Structure 1
């Protein structure tokens, strides 16, 4: 039983018992494969051969009626041969063919009516030959053809009516030829077409209306041509289009509204074009777009609403743009599903603190190879799902110690190749690195000091306050671009401290301080003082007392001594936490007022009751005394 089962499994591989020509392998299911030193069609059994594959043979010519005797032959593959000549009636007498594949041969010319009897043919592959021209009559009889592959040839021109009779064609591949232009009506009869490949040609222009009748087209590839301009509304009549590739051309401008009415588009590529600018109104509603590539251009910036209609976008490649220096604040406003964003190797120098605030699904963010000197402390506050972040190869000299506090899913971080300035302001991020070494994947590649010279190449994670000569106590969070008071006594108000403040000579934004404590034992024993960064120096003036008020821009920072510690507190001026604290403050204030009024009213009522009770008690006492007097008189 097991032997029978194994035999049935191997049955398709067994060859026929009937004689099979030398150099061929004949299978029981009716297929034959012939290779080697064969110069003509082998004499196979015509009553059993359904499929014939002639691969890597020496056949150079297909003679007239070569397949007339193969009445059951439906699929013919002649590939990787020296075949260079097909006689005019080579396929006559074999109208039953459904598939003919003649790829990777040396064919350059086809007789005009060689396929005139192949009305049942569905698949014709002539790719990777040396075809120079196609007669307008070559495909005239192929009324049932659904797939035509003419790629990787040398076709420079096509007649306007060459595909006129291919009304059932679904796949057309013309990639890898030498086409310079396309007749306007070339594809007008191909109303069932779903895939059109025109990549890797020499197209310079596209005529208006070229794709107007392709309402069922799903794939259109135009990359790697020399297209310098496209007419307005070129793609407006492609409502079913899923993929559009325009990369690798010479486009400097794109007409406004070019990508309107493409509601089903899922992938759009525009990279490797010398684009100088993009119009404000370029993209229509694309609710299904998932991938967009726009790199290697000459763009300096992009319109703020470029991605506004792409709510389902998941992969965005906006990198390798050497002239791209800035990004609008609201550029990523409407991309709640974006998972990967690449901004690598642009010329970006700064990012708005709110740039990534709406990217709540972001998992991969690539920022390497730009010129960032620092990043806002709140730049990643809404990217809680971020897993991979690449910051290497920038000019980073400073990062806030709590810049990654909200990236709870972060597990791969690259920080090498930056210009870290190892002064006291670096200690926040240095300590974070020391606490999270497994997250940084390039610690061994140089996450080290760039300056000052005596600390050059010193690893950040091993820095100490003593090495940086920061005194005995420093703020672990540096106040940047904020007003720092030079002298603030314990009794000073917030306004007086602001009035006597000076601006810090730095360029990055202030980080949000969390509750922070420094042991008082670290202060000099003779006075309570704290070191405040002011410009590039640290203020240790003895006028700082145990309680001070600092002005930190819109945020209020307060510290106080308790049990040998100095506590610093801050309340952010914006955000949900600030709103909650303000609401709580109002509630407490109202409650206090109500309690005061209630207490006053209660005291008033108590006073009134006591006054009434006092009068009643006095009257009772008078009556008792009067009775006692009368009683005494009677006794007398």
Structure 2
């Protein structure tokens, strides 16, 4: 009891100090309700942050004296229950966060409308259901966060009265169905997050009233169909994420009404092919991600409608060949990712229109030649091109085709050893990367040597070439030398490595500089001694002269 009183005393002193200095923002942690009631001149506060406090229940009009409060946060405080009018009196409140608590029911918690509230955060609670008109006393709400709850049911008209709502977060819940009545009153909604749910179906008219919707996230769900996209309401959609679902095909004209879409993510699905009209309507699309699917073939006209496309990701599929005209309509491509497929060759004129290309990723395929590099468009800036050809089956290439690129990754291919050694003997630019790092442990030492190595093939056998920095290793060995080692006749050590001796001239430039500095120092010392000697002689003569005059 004494400890509690002692603690309350200091809280009172602290709060009195804040009141005296007219602080309008206050943050308390590890507090309780008693400490909150000790706050003096609460009407001055505009921001109150209570975190990690012991507040399980808020009574009616609990914040009544905080009449000027604009921002209120009660987070990580074990809050389980708010009485019907616990927020009564906060008529100026603009943002309210009750996240990371144990709230299971949503009410208005006020008798009068909180007309100034624009941001409400109820994330990380245990809310299971949204009842009708649950937010009707928040008419100006623009952002509502209900992420990471237990929501599995949303009653019709649950969002009625939120005519100004722009951003709604329902991600991380247990929703299985998106009904047509959920968002029908949200006419100004621009961002909707539904990722990480259990959604299997979206009703066709779900977004008919959301003509201002710009961003829609449905990733990490269980969707098998996207027929809802063909209905009205999503004409102004810019960002659409459908990754990590169960889509097996894209019906013809699936995106015919999404002509403002710029970013489309279809990765981590089970798509097997794209028809000529699968992507028709995406006249503004700039980024398309279809990676981690089961695509084995792309028809020549499948990307024709995507004229402004700048980033295309087709990695981690099962593509075995590409048609020569596949990218001819996509002259704005900046990045093409075809890595980790089963491509054995690249059509010679596949990239003849790619004058803006900066990144070309072809790693993890079965390529055996790069003849197509000789047919890149002359207008392409090769100095800005990054090329990844690692983990293919290249045996040799003409290095003059790639020597002027910004960077080229050629590691882990099936190089002929003779060709590789021949090219290693001449100094290659740092933009070409053949090697991978090695750690070498000798049989008679515990020292690990870090080196670069190259893999090559000779007579169908895999060999490795290790590149050592001889000069650097010699210096390192000399620094670690143990000169008092003994010889064991029973367990003789293997002979030490012999390094090539590098002739050096003892009278080198460093010695010359040192001896010159020594000579200069000696000369200056001699001059100072001579100067002191001369001054001493002069003083002696003057004294003799003065003594002679006095004697006369």
TM-score (norm 2): 0.73
Deviates more, 1:226-235 or 1:210-219: 226-235
Summarize the Cα distance change of 1:198–1:430 in structure 2 as closer, same or farther, 3 Å threshold: farther
Residues 68-117 of structure 1, C-alpha deviation per residue, up to 9 Å, x if partnerless?
22221222111122111111221123333222111111222234665763
Say which of 166, 169, 175 aligns to 1:170. Answer: 166
Summarize the Cα distance change of 1:335–1:57 in structure 2 as closer, same or farther, 3 Å threshold: same
**Deviation, structure 1 residue 200:** 0.6
**Deviation, structure 1 residue 443:** 3.1
Summarize the Cα distance change of 1:26–1:255 in structure 2 as closer, same or farther, 3 Å threshold: farther
1:42 aligns with 2:2: no
**Runs of 5+ consecutive residues of structure 1 not aligned to the other structure:** 1-17, 461-636
1:373 aligns with 2:368: yes
Q: Could you tell me whether the CA contact under 8 Å between 2:133 and 2:161 is conserved in 1?
A: no
Q: Could you tell me whether the CA contact under 8 Å between 1:68 and 1:94 is conserved in 2?
A: yes
Q: For the residues of structure 1 that align with 2:21 and 2:311, how far apart are their CA atoms?
A: 48
SS in 2 for 1:361: coil
**Deviation, structure 1 residue 422:** 5.1
Within 5 Å, give how 1:267-278 maps onto structure 2: 267-278=263-274
Aligned partner of 2:357 in structure 1 is 362
Q: For the residues of structure 2 that align with 1:372 and 1:81, how far apart are their CA atoms?
A: 59
Q: For the residues of structure 2 that align with 1:160 and 1:36, how far apart are their CA atoms?
A: 39
Aligned partner of 2:126 in structure 1 is 130
Q: For the residues of structure 1 that align with 2:285 and 2:74, how far apart are their CA atoms?
A: 40
**Deviation, structure 1 residue 250:** 0.7
Q: For the residues of structure 2 that align with 1:248 and 1:26, how far apart are their CA atoms?
A: 56
**Deviation, structure 1 residue 402:** 4.9
Deviates more, 1:212-221 or 1:91-100: 91-100
Residues 211-253 of structure 1, C-alpha deviation per residue, up to 9 Å, x if partnerless?
1221111111111111111216446532322211110111111
Q: Could you tell me whether the CA contact under 8 Å between 2:253 and 2:281 is conserved in 1?
A: no
1:443 aligns with 2:439: no
Q: Could you tell me whether the CA contact under 8 Å between 1:26 and 1:32 is conserved in 2?
A: no
**Deviation, structure 1 residue 182:** 1.4
Q: For the residues of structure 1 that align with 2:155 and 2:228, how far apart are their CA atoms?
A: 25
1:107 aligns with 2:103: yes
Aligned partner of 1:72 in structure 2 is 68
1:84 aligns with 2:91: no
Deviates more, 1:260-269 or 1:395-404: 395-404
Within 5 Å, give how 1:193-212 maps onto structure 2: 193-212=189-208
Summarize the Cα distance change of 1:422–1:35 in structure 2 as closer, same or farther, 3 Å threshold: closer
**Deviation, structure 1 residue 132:** 1.4
Q: For the residues of structure 2 that align with 1:196 and 1:298, how far apart are their CA atoms?
A: 29
From the CA coordinates, give the structure whose radius of gyration is larger: 1
Q: Could you tell me whether the CA contact under 8 Å between 2:87 and 2:109 is conserved in 1?
A: no
Q: Could you tell me whether the CA contact under 8 Å between 2:86 and 2:109 is conserved in 1?
A: no
Say which of 256, 259, 262 aligns to 2:255. Answer: 259
Q: For the residues of structure 2 that align with 1:148 and 1:74, how far apart are their CA atoms?
A: 17
Say which of 291, 309, 330 aligns to 2:325. Answer: 330
Summarize the Cα distance change of 1:254–1:336 in structure 2 as closer, same or farther, 3 Å threshold: same
**Deviation, structure 1 residue 153:** 0.7
Aligned partner of 1:345 in structure 2 is 340
Residues 371-423 of structure 1, C-alpha deviation per residue, up to 9 Å, x if partnerless?
1122324455224435211111112224345543xx74x13111121112457
**Deviation, structure 1 residue 272:** 0.3
Deviates more, 1:177-186 or 1:337-346: 337-346
**Deviation, structure 1 residue 198:** 0.6
Within 5 Å, give how 1:395-414 maps onto structure 2: 395-400=393-398, 402-404=400-402, 408=404, 410-414=405-409
Aligned partner of 1:389 in structure 2 is 387
Q: For the residues of structure 2 that align with 1:265 and 1:168, how far apart are their CA atoms?
A: 23
Q: For the residues of structure 2 that align with 1:26 and 1:228, how far apart are their CA atoms?
A: 63
Residues 255-286 of structure 1, C-alpha deviation per residue, up to 9 Å, x if partnerless?
21112233332211110001122232022354
Summarize the Cα distance change of 1:455–1:299 in structure 2 as closer, same or farther, 3 Å threshold: closer
Aligned partner of 2:294 in structure 1 is 298
Aligned partner of 1:32 in structure 2 is 26
SS in 2 for 1:47: helix
**Runs of 5+ consecutive residues of structure 2 not aligned to the other structure:** 1-11, 438-452, 468-552
Q: For the residues of structure 1 that align with 2:307 and 2:193, how far apart are their CA atoms?
A: 28
**Deviation, structure 1 residue 39:** 3.2
Summarize the Cα distance change of 1:403–1:295 in structure 2 as closer, same or farther, 3 Å threshold: same
Q: For the residues of structure 1 that align with 2:187 and 2:291, how far apart are their CA atoms?
A: 33
Aligned residues: 436
SS in 1 for 2:129: coil
Q: Could you tell me whether the CA contact under 8 Å between 1:209 and 1:234 is conserved in 2?
A: no
1:142 aligns with 2:112: no
Q: For the residues of structure 1 that align with 2:321 and 2:111, how far apart are their CA atoms?
A: 58
Q: Could you tell me whether the CA contact under 8 Å between 2:289 and 2:314 is conserved in 1?
A: yes
Q: For the residues of structure 1 that align with 2:19 and 2:434, how far apart are their CA atoms?
A: 56
Q: Could you tell me whether the CA contact under 8 Å between 1:33 and 1:52 is conserved in 2?
A: yes
Q: For the residues of structure 2 that align with 1:26 and 1:128, how far apart are their CA atoms?
A: 36
Aligned partner of 1:56 in structure 2 is 52
Residues 490-537 of structure 1, C-alpha deviation per residue, up to 9 Å, x if partnerless?
xxxxxxxxxxxxxxxxxxxxxxxxxxxxxxxxxxxxxxxxxxxxxxxx
Summarize the Cα distance change of 1:374–1:236 in structure 2 as closer, same or farther, 3 Å threshold: farther
Q: Could you tell me whether the CA contact under 8 Å between 1:151 and 1:175 is conserved in 2?
A: yes
Summarize the Cα distance change of 1:272–1:379 in structure 2 as closer, same or farther, 3 Å threshold: farther
Aligned partner of 1:222 in structure 2 is 218
Q: Could you tell me whether the CA contact under 8 Å between 1:23 and 1:37 is conserved in 2?
A: no
SS in 2 for 1:21: helix
